[in-house]
Amino acid sequence: MDQGAKEAATPEVPTAAGRVADRLAEAVEEIAGISDYRNAYKKQFCNLSRRINLLAPMFEELKESKDPISKPAVGALEKLSRALDSAKDLLRLGSEGSKIFLVLERDRIMEMFQVVTFQLQQALDKIPFDEIDISDEVKEQVELVHSQFKRAKERIDATDTELHTDLSSIYSMSADAKVDSTVLQSLAEKLQLMTISDLKQESIALHEMVVSSSGDPGKVIEKMVMLLKKIKDFVQTQQPEMGTPTNPRVLPSHGTTKTPIIPDDFRCPISLELMGDPVIVSTGQTYERGYIKKWLEAGHNTCPKTQQKLSSTSLTPNHVLRSLIMRWCEEHGIEPPKRPAQTGKPPSGCSASEHAKVVDLLHKLSSQNLEDQRSAAGELRLLAKRNADNRVCIAEAGAIPLLVSLLVTHDIRTQEHAVTALLNLSIFEENKGKIIVSGAVPGIVHVLKWGSMEARENAAATLFSLSVVDRNKVIIGESGAIPPLVLLLSEGSQRGKKDAATALFNLCIYQGNKGKAVRAGVIQTLMGLLTDPEASMMDEALAIMAILSSHPEGKAAITAAEALPVLIKVIRSGSPRNKENAAAVLVHLCNGERQQQHLAELQEQGMMEPLFVMVESGTDRGKRKAAQLLERMNRFLDQQKEAHGRAKAQIQAPIQGLVDESRDTTTSASTDT
């Protein structure tokens, strides 16, 4: 076996740097999954979580980097890992802890915020950013987060003082003391303890505190339980319909009957009853229509379950869940809950006649007649294109799940209409979440792979529209969308290439998608577009290459594709924006394993002068990139001069020795004479 084969057969052993990078990435991923922060500290918890999540690209790049990390850098990253563990514990307390406890222990919680913030700031202070292999863009982002932690350390916002005072006042009362109903109303609203679900969660949180105290709750927890009971009694007095949930009626049958346990997913989180008309809100949670409407009509603008702010009050019918509930009822001999009669009131944004037209089209869309489906999808496509009111009306009427179901149809025209209707609906910001929640992405990717050219173009445009929302970039990247986008960029029509390019650019802003694009062969495709004068894709190709060059696999692929001559040509004669992106690629290429080779080639091609011109007259970003390249080229020239001086000295040393020896011999001979 040759040496190369031996090396290939040896499994990689994770280094200390690799292990700490993995731990950091996992910690941030866990923190990103923590949500539902308690209302009293929501701003502080959300700010802490957001800042930590902005560090994720640094950890992803460190995981993928092949460059060694120095011991001091590893030590600094270990310190950051410990700081993230402390932050994770605090955020979990903010998500799962007792709301009452968090307010009563205000000073202690604020001190915890300050300690965690200081730990994170100190850890970032110690990281030698010049010694670790991360891109300039990520470095700038981390430096911004670092400065935010410094400012946050100096000033932590206090919670609602009135809430703390009122809660402390009742906490100090005896168990049988009477409390003003207006105070209880205020506490219930501010603590968001307005539903059975909220009260149950708070009760569980207090129970966990009892368990963690080895079963001895002590006076503090007992008083908090008493306080919760007062709030619960008040809420149930004010809202008796949110009391004990009613049981479903079992249909008569022979033999012994037993009421089956209703699956939690089939219960409304507000009423805890079996849902008859489940609808989805903008956070993706499902509720019984009647209860969530009461919640919204009472003036609330948050999701009762997650407590996230609702981006829209739109309610989308959950047809899939309703079908599952109906099937479950049938299997267990239970009379299905009846759907409340619809009032016929049109959704906001459209007239009664327009609403009636949309409802009629949805009936056709859900029919089994192919002609009806095709014509209805086509009309919805045109209506959604016309104006924003139509986009709201169509989505609120429940069209999105029906259109998604048609993405896999074998009828080419129906498929084109369905994907284009979704594209037009996605233009309205609030519809993006509904499209994602409806499970549309796999269907859109199916169209991207197998549809007609028009359908593929519009599927790519839809993915671009959806990827504007950051969390959707991850969902789309994991769906397998990137390889067919690269294929469309290579072989599509001019419009198809443009749509594919914009979608790829947006998706590759997320670090995790960059490697997928490189492995799908996007660099070779980009090189083809850069060298084809008739492609008219220079702007898009360079923008994508610039964003991929910060990734280790991207850098290696660009080097292997021998892109340097093309980039040099752009620097000399391209547009200002293209020069900027070409310089950004060169900066990354001149910061890797083959930087000496690349810098030597730039020097040979006389790139100093064009770069000086860019520094003087380029775009703002172009000026920065050109200045970075000039700095590295000057450093390279200095190193060459030093190396040349050392080599010259090494050559001259033996000659000087011979001269000195000859002089000594001559002097000796003269003395002898």
Q: Which pLDDT score is estimated for 158?
A: 53
The amino acid at 114? Q
Whether 538 contacts 578, CB under 8 Å: yes
pLDDT tens string 129-180: 877 878 777 888 888 888 888 877 555 455 567 777 777 777 777 766 777 7
Q: State the distance between the two ends of the chain, measured CA to CA, in whole angstroms.
A: 71
Within 191-262, where are the H helices?
196-212, 218-238
User: In the predicted model, is pLDDT for residue 244 greater than 60?
Assistant: no
**243-252, 402-411, 510-519 — which is least confidently predicted?**
243-252
Instruction: Judge whether 118 and 156 are in contact, CB under 8 Å.
Output: no
Determine the residue type at 490: S
What's the rounded Cα separation, in Å, for the pair 499 and 540? 10
**pLDDT band at 661, cuts 50/70/90?**
low
- Please give the residue that has the higher pLDDT: either 1 or 438: 438
Token pair for residue 432?
A: 């993006």
Within a 13 Å sphere around the CA of 54, how many CA atoms are in the beta-carbon half? 20
Cβ-proximal residues to 288 (8 Å cutoff; 6+ apart), any chain: 268, 270, 271, 273, 275, 276, 277, 278, 279
d(CA 297, CA 300): 7
Worst-scoring range by mean pLDDT, 518-532, 539-553, 579-593?
A: 579-593
Predicted local distance difference test score (pLDDT) of residue 13: 35
pLDDT confidence of residue 157: 53
Neighbours of 512 (CB within 10 A): 18
Percent of the chain with pLDDT over 70: 81
**Distant-in-sequence, close-in-space partners of 335: CB < 8 Å, separation ≥ 6:** 248, 249, 250, 251, 329
The token pair that represents 342 in the structure block: 């619809």
Query: Phi/psi of residue 309, each to 5°?
Result: -70, 135
Given a cut of 60, whether residue 320 has pLDDT beyond it is yes
pTM of the complete model? 0.52
β-sheet bridge partners, residue 287: 279
Q: Among all chains, which residue has been given the structure tokens 């809202």?
A: 239
Over residues 598-627, the mean pLDDT reads: 85
The C-alpha atoms of residue 414 and residue 267 are separated, in whole angstroms, by 36
Residue 400 near residue 438, CB atoms below 8 Å = yes
pLDDT band at 443 (very low <50, low <70, confident <90, very high): very high
Task: Identify the pLDDT of residue 371.
Answer: 92
* Cβ proximity of 315 and 281 under 8 Å: yes
Q: How far apart are CA 485 and CA 527, in angstroms?
A: 16
Q: Which helix (H) or strand (E) holds 288?
A: strand 286-288
Phi/psi at 575 (5° precision): -70, 160
Query: Which tokens hold the place of 197?
Result: 């679900």
Instruction: For residue 334, report the phi and psi dihedrals to the nearest 5 degrees.
Output: -110, 140
In DSSP terms, 278 is beta-bridged to: 288
Question: Element (H or E) spanning 278, and its range?
Answer: strand 278-280
pLDDT band at 9 (very low <50, low <70, confident <90, very high): very low
Degrees to nearest 5, angle at CA 341 with 339 and 345: 125
The answer to whether residues 358 and 347 touch, using CB atoms and an 8 Å cutoff, is no
- What is the rounded distance in angstroms from the CA atom of residue 587 to the CA atom of residue 564? 11
Q: What is the DSSP letter of 467?
A: T
pLDDT, residue 436, reads 92
Whether the Cβ atoms of residue 310 and residue 301 lie closer than 8 Å to each other? yes
